[in-house]
Structures are given as structure tokens and as C-alpha cells.
């Protein structure tokens, strides 16, 4: 079991930056791949970024590639999402998730491929 708690959301002007954190409890965090998703009002939850358990492989959606960076610190049981050059269309609730697969080297991009979810943190980008 893994419990996930996101933090770092807030209100920022377009062009600004935010860093989201996702703190995990449980001894198995370091074995799981992690992902960030987001959900805007009236829209489905969508994939943003993912990182494998070792941190050696990452993957991004086209909409955030080159602006967002996912990273993790397994010693601190934390995964991060650095968001730069934010746009109003990045406004959403951001969720972190753990894929629940021990030491998988694969990247997962679908909501159904993740077993554990945080409660979400709101990111609002004003124009």
C-alpha cells in the first residue's frame, strides 16, 4: 500500500513556474513507477508525465514536453513535477499516481494502469 499526498499547487501568472511535490508513505515507493495526471473542469483526467522506479526513464505528453520535468528522490519518498512557462491551459487539478508494479522499466500513460492516487492539488494559471 502506498499513500500519496500532493502539494505545491497555487495561482501563478502565465509564464511563471511551480514545483509540485508528491510525498509517499510506505516502504515500496522506490519500487514503483510514478505518474502525474491532470484534470480540468468538464474534461477527462489526462496524462502529463511519468518516471520509472529508478528515475532513468521519463516520458511526457506533447502538451508539456520541454516545459515540465518529472523527477524523483527515492530516499525522500517523493516525486516532483517542475512546471515552467505555464500557460492558462495548464489550469487543472494535478494528481500523482503510483503504478503498483515492482521494478517495472515500462512507462504507463493510462489512468487505469495506476493503482494508487493522491487527492490532487489545484494549479491555476492566469492570463
pLDDT tens by residue, 55-92 = 999 999 999 999 999 999 999 999 999 999 999 999 99
Mean pLDDT of 96-119: 96
Mean pLDDT of the chain: 96
If pLDDT is split at 50, 70 and 90, which confidence band does 27 have? confident
Residue 115: the pLDDT is 96
Q: 3-class secondary structure for the chain?
A: CCEEEEECCEEEECCCCEEEEEEEECCCHHHCCEEEEEECCCCCCEEEEEECCCCCCEEECCCCCCCEEEEEECCCCEEEEEECCCCHHHCEEEEEEECCCCCCCCCCCCHHHCCEECCCEEEEEEC
Residue 28: the pLDDT is 86
Amino acid at each position: 500500500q502506498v499513500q500519496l499526498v500532493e502539494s505545491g499547487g497555487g495561482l501563478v501568472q502565465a509564464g511563471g513556474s511551480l514545483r509540485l511535490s508528491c510525498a509517499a508513505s510506505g516502504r515500496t515507493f522506490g519500487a514503483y513507477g510514478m505518474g502525474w495526471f491532470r484534470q480540468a473542469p468538464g474534461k477527462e483526467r489526462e496524462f502529463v508525465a511519468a518516471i520509472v522506479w529508478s528515475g532513468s526513464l521519463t516520458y511526457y505528453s506533447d502538451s508539456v514536453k520541454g516545459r515540465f520535468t518529472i523527477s524523483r528522490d527515492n530516499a525522500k519518498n517523493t516525486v516532483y513535477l517542475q512546471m515552467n512557462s505555464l500557460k492558462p491551459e495548464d489550469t487543472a487539478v494535478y494528481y500523482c499516481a503510483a503504478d503498483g508494479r515492482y521494478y517495472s522499466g515500462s512507462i504507463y500513460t493510462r489512468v487505469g494502469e495506476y493503482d494508487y492516487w493522491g487527492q490532487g492539488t489545484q494549479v491555476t494559471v492566469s492570463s
